[in-house]
Amino acid sequence: MPELRSGVRRARAPVVHRSEHLVGNYVKTRAAAAKEAAAKAAAPPLHQQQNNKNITKGLVPNPVIIPEEDKLQEIMADASNNQEEEEEGNTAPFPDMVQVGGSPVYKVERKLGKGGFGQVFVGRRVSVSGPGATEVAIKFEHKNSKGCSYGPPYEWQVYNTLGGSHGVPRVHYKGKQGDYYVMVMDMLGPSLWDVWNSSGQTMSSEMVACVAVESLSILEKMHFRGYVHGDVKPENFLLGQPSTPQEKRLFLVDLGLATKWREGAGGQHVEYDQRPDMFRGTVRYASVHAHLGRTAGRRDDLESLAYTLVFLHRGRLPWQGYQGDNKSYLVCKKKMTTSTDALCEHCPAPLKQFLDVVVNMKFDEEPNYSKLISLFEDLLSPNPVIRPINTDGAQKIILQVGRKRGRLNLDEEDDGQPRKKIRIGVPATQWISVYNARQPMKQRYHYNVSDERLAQHIERGNADGLLISSVASSSNLWAIIMDAGTGYSSQVYELSPIFLHKEWIMEQWEENYYISAIAGSNNGNSLVVMSRGTQYSQQSYKVSDSFPYKWINKKWREGFHVTSMATAGTRWGVVMSRNSGFSEQVVELDFLYPSEGIHRRWNKGYRITATAATEDQSALILSMPRRKPNDETQETLRTSQFPSTHVKEKWAKNLYLACICYGRTVS
């Protein structure tokens, strides 16, 4: 395992100090109130209602409920969201005539389509003669839309760089007219979705192969100029106008979600990050990394292209049909659990090979476009003239690769080393254990501990001067880690049938105990350990049916950091504390073990400080300590059984168990 090193630290918002201290942050938006009213008849038991709230322990002996500004802000935010929806339905009418940026006068005719960033109409030049195309596409975006918060649409900047390049339509004029930002563009023909739909909702292998190679050539040019598209799907690939020389050419449109994958004059790759609450794209075709909120890279466009190609050939993807608020979660889970063999059943072999490559690309890996294009060569007609789609953009690359065909090996890196597959593996449920370098100390572990035997193990440890540092659960049995290096002065604990028993926790807060370790079992029970002698000055926790990243992010802005984390069945419990000893914190959340993200965080100086996992997901909290430890070495293990043998081997190297959990990984 690599040693941790100091690195660039991500900037954070300033800490907000409050004089009040929250006991129950029972904020209700209008949407939440409506949901509660609708669900009154089927309300869960009282203890479940209480546990699903954000509970905070303050600094004062008798905490009070805060009449805080955040309540007003949250209600106002909810109202503004509703207002925005109303405005979108009641915007000013579109003009009948358009003239912007020195353009001719165009008459606005029928609507071509509507997307997340505006509406597109046919525009016809009024004057019989003069410069400019007779028929154009005119895109309108209202000045109050989400994409125009800071002036002209962001998409304009992207078209300034990419417009007119291979496979990207040209923008002829743009400007503001009335309440709308207007862009006058090349008029194009049907989308690939239109072609698929009018062809019996299927496409031939040769047609799909033509789409593949030409799409790759378009994405190569786009990526070369520093952008990833961010929303690759059949609806965004258009053919040229029918009955024109462009009718067989392929174009990629709708650049509103495009982002830069490199930055600065040196062209360095953007920094890796993960924000699980940030999703960009279309759920059906988005990459798994996009679902998980990871920074967009070139690999994401290629994964979306792979799903697009499979859809066009098969007519359906296995994750279609999910509905509801957790649709993105369910689709992402299905994508992760669907093998490439199953997804590409009845598809040409090159499609599976293509998918195998792109889903295993690293974040900053440069795609080998020529290798990928060469996969589809045998599916193409040898005569480019009679192919259903013009492949001029890919033809030169195909010819270059053809002469080297014997040397291409998709299972090897360009330097001949075996390719490491980062997402291919058998999903497994395992122990995840984390070890930190420490000065020699006494540490003890117990596992497969029943509720009845828990007390005797803890009492024996206390008699030997040991206190609990970490707890976990597997198969409704407990694992306990006790050591002499916690720094705590005393401890209390509770086994409860309630996942994080609010009343007991608040009683201990009154006695100046703070939560130092938590665990939950599949049957909903919990083990909560609270200690005196911690450095914490304030504490808050939340129980949620899904990983509560938005709440965590809010608490980060208030100066809290995650200090404990656990799951009980599918529920998550997260404890956050002020004065935690951390300066920065990030989350790695995945449906498999997020090895790539962990290594990238390690290289920036972060260390794993909390872990938790359900049967579906694993989450790791990585923190930047305010005081740099003398030895920053950290190692992790994934084992099917409790790692008792491995723990002893680590002890011999002065590496001690820091945190442990049981849940989803990959074998």
Q: Give the number of residues written for the chain.
A: 667
- d(CA 355, CA 335) in angstroms, rounded, equals 12
- d(CA 118, CA 110) in angstroms, rounded, equals 15
Nearest to 250 by CA among 261, 262, 241: 241
Q: Which positions make up the binding site?
A: 139
- d(CA 304, CA 222) in angstroms, rounded, equals 15
User: Which single residue is written with the structure tokens 């904020």?
Assistant: 27
- d(CA 119, CA 136) in angstroms, rounded, equals 14
Nearest to 397 by CA among 221, 247, 222, 267: 221
- d(CA 41, CA 35) in angstroms, rounded, equals 12
Q: Which positions make up the binding site for ATP?
A: 139
Catalytic residues: 231
Nearest to 494 by CA among 476, 471, 523: 471
Q: Which residues of 424-448 are buried (b: 16+ CB within 10 A; e: fewer)?
A: eeeeeebbbbbbbbbeeeebbbbbe
Task: Count CA within 13 A, CB hemisphere, residue 24.
Answer: 10
Torsion of CA 150, 155, 158, 162, to 10 degrees: -160
User: How many Cβ atoms are within 10 Å of 533's Cβ, its own excluded?
Assistant: 15
Within 8 A by CB and 6+ apart from 127, the residues are 104, 105
Residue type (1 letter), 641: Q
Residues 565, 518 contacting (CB under 8 angstroms)? yes
Identify the bridge partners of residue 666 per DSSP, sorted by sequence position. 427
Nearest to 657 by CA among 466, 480, 463: 480
- Burial class of residue 112 in the structure, from the number of CB atoms within 10 Å of its CB (0-12 exposed, 13-18 middle, 19+ buried): middle
- d(CA 367, CA 97) in angstroms, rounded, equals 45
Residues 250, 218 contacting (CB under 8 angstroms)? yes
DSSP state of 612: E
Q: Which residues of 353-392 are buried (b: 16+ CB within 10 A; e: fewer)?
A: bbbbbbbbbebbbebbbbbbbbbbbebbeeeeeebbbbbe
Output the six-digit token pair for 408.
């291409």
DSSP state of 240: P
- d(CA 147, CA 542) in angstroms, rounded, equals 33
| Three-state secondary-structure class, residue 567 | strand
- Residue 334: its H or E element: helix 327-337
Residues 206, 388 contacting (CB under 8 angstroms)? yes
The pair phi, psi for residue 227, each rounded to 5°, is -120, 150
End-to-end Cα distance, the chain: 18
Nearest to 663 by CA among 559, 586, 591, 563: 591
